[in-house]
Structure 1
Amino acid sequence: MSELDRWTKMFNAFVGRLARAGISVTGARELETIGRKSGQPRTTPVNLMKVDGQPYLVAPRGQTDWVRNVRKNPEVKLRLGRRVETYTAVEVHGDAAVPVMRYYLKKWFWEVGAFFPEGVRAKSTDAEIAGIIPAHPVFKLQPSSPVE
């Protein structure tokens, strides 16, 4: 396991514990998906963001387990402390995902920049940003009813 992988695992565990305790680090939540093979709940910390009032998730580490789980079953939950919100995740492609990715890079590059191609930043061209979206999926979250 690389040093970056060890740091990422420790950081994710820490942020996940904070989210379960009700403390959000710059928008962090605990995402719950249903395992595509096991059918069991799976959790991971994510950075929830809103663009024009609409909630989104971006997968900075690419085609991860949570991404594959969401593609199989788009019903997800986001937890912050005892507050749980349910959503249907809809993958956003192409030009529609560019402003979301640009905002994500602007807000969280300090945390996730190592996972993106060299030279791609919030100030990159639309074409450069569109070029990384297939490798770093973007999901629009359509709210369902809150669960407490």
Structure 2
Amino acid sequence: MSAESTTSRTSPGSPSSTYYRAPGRTTAAFNRLVGWLARRGLSLQGSAELSVRGRKSGQPQRLPVNPLPFRGEEYLVSARGTSQWVRNMRAAGGGELRLGRRVREFTATEVPDAEKPEILRVYLKRWGWEVGEFFRGVTAESSDATLLAAAPDHPVFRITVKDAPR
């Protein structure tokens, strides 16, 4: 049995969805490993380490993410829902992505639900094997209507790198 839990949400497909699937012990350990590897320049399937300022502590919060290149832009998708990093990103408006010594500072703009289906489809094609369980039956092959109904549960941010990588 998994140690993962799901919080409630306001209603299915609601724009103010509070869906969140917390990581279990195994996932937390794996995330620490992936973050450690990213800090040393090793990416697993495109992973990087996200650093975003905590909205309460003001301290950088770090976790591994899968930045998604799509149509000449880059996105961060929260497969687990309205997580702490999502709340922090909404408050901070940006952060940093790290892969080894390469650090890219960026601003973030949240994508409206109506624009998410194509992004979610590409994300699920690339990482569905890893994150599919958090989408509760929605896959890359799901209809546009199904992806649109799932969109409120999965915040998406378009990121814009501020300057050349440092």
Q: Which amino acid aligns with 1:135?
A: D
Partner of 1:2 in structure 2? 3
Note if 1:69 corresponds to 2:88.
yes
Note if 1:87 corresponds to 2:103.
no
Which of 149, 152, 164 in structure 2 is aligned with 1:131?
A: 149
Note if 1:106 corresponds to 2:120.
no
Task: Verify the 8 A CA contact 1:62 1:135 in the aligned structure 2.
Answer: yes
When you count helix as a share of all residues, which structure comes out higher? 1
Percent of aligned pairs sharing the same letter: 47
Task: Verify the 8 A CA contact 1:59 1:138 in the aligned structure 2.
Answer: yes
Note if 1:53 corresponds to 2:72.
yes
Q: Which runs of 5+ in 1 are unaligned?
A: none
Deviations 1:54-91 (A, max 9, x none): 11010011111100000011121000001000111111
Distance across 1 between alignment mates of 2:28 and 2:54: 19
SS at 1:79 equivalent: strand
Distance across 2 between alignment mates of 1:105 and 1:147: 27
Aligned residue pairs total 147
| 1:147 Cα deviation from its structure 2 partner | 5.0
Partner of 2:57 in structure 1? 38
Larger mean CA deviation between 79-88 and 130-139 belongs to 130-139
Task: Verify the 8 A CA contact 1:70 1:89 in the aligned structure 2.
Answer: yes
Note if 1:144 corresponds to 2:162.
yes
Distance across 2 between alignment mates of 1:112 and 1:138: 14
Partner of 2:41 in structure 1? 22
Deviations 1:102-135 (A, max 9, x none): 0001110111112111x21001011111111111
Task: Verify the 8 A CA contact 1:83 1:147 in the aligned structure 2.
Answer: yes
Q: Which amino acid aligns with 2:26?
A: W
When you count strand as a share of all residues, which structure comes out higher? 1
SS at 2:43 equivalent: coil
| 1:95 Cα deviation from its structure 2 partner | 2.6
SS at 1:22 equivalent: coil
SS at 2:127 equivalent: helix
Q: Which amino acid aligns with 2:69?
A: K
Moved over 6 A (4+): none
Q: Which runs of 5+ in 2 are unaligned?
A: 5-22
Distance across 2 between alignment mates of 1:19 and 1:146: 19
Q: Which amino acid aligns with 1:116?
A: F
